[in-house]
Amino acid sequence: MTAENDPAYSSRLGNRHPSHTIIEPVAANTRYFDAGPVRIGVEYRLITSDIVNANLEAARHEHGAQYAPVAVPEDAGVSVHVVDASTNAEYLRFDMFDDSPHYHYIHPGEYQLNIPFDRAAFGDMFTWVRDGLRYRLRDMLEFCGATAAAARLDPAVVESVLPEVVEAVRAGTPPVAP
């Protein structure tokens, strides 16, 4: 897909960043549910300036780009990840954070869109995420350029794992320190 025909490329939707700047899920904190061509992961996340800047520094070393240190308020909450079942490439992320809820459309290897969640317009983010997985997942995957996964998506399979995803989100709490 080229920039000319990619709806996200010219979109004013959210903030656009290189895809390699997104903070990867922490495997030990993430539980995945198989949903056909995708897996849905649920993770409790903590975000601090130190975590964000360490990730940007790693991106700088790996990709050679320059990133200025940032200051972000500490935030935490449950994240829902949608990844390709065969490659683990992440396409969607819903960060249901306490203070700054947002979501990401991720074009692996290219860029990500970080979009603030509007509670006034959409209400409870948990309900919005659940309904998005249930009714809009194919469209959201297509928006990320994941057309092959979207084409193979079976809504009945997604629906069959949603109760477990919902339970994991509701149970989402900080991991216990060792």
What pLDDT, on the 0 to 100 scale, is given for residue 6?
A: 52
Query: What would the pLDDT profile of 43-59 be if each residue is shown by its tens digit?
Result: 999 999 898 888 888 88
Which domain covers residue 16, as residue numbers?
3-171
Residue 178 lies in a domain: no
The number of folded domains in the chain is 1
Separation in Å, CA 134 to CA 22, 144, 151: 25, 17, 15
Q: Is the separation of the CB atoms in 3 and 10 below 8 Å?
A: yes
Query: What would the pLDDT profile of 78-108 be if each residue is shown by its tens digit?
Result: 999 999 999 999 999 999 999 999 999 999 9
Helix (H, G, I), strand (E, B) or coil at 20: helix
pTM of the shown model: 0.88
Return the number of other C-beta atoms located less than 10 Å from residue 166's C-beta: 15
User: Kindly report the CA angle at 101 between 99 and 106, in degrees rounded to 5?
Assistant: 145
Residue 177 lies in a domain: no
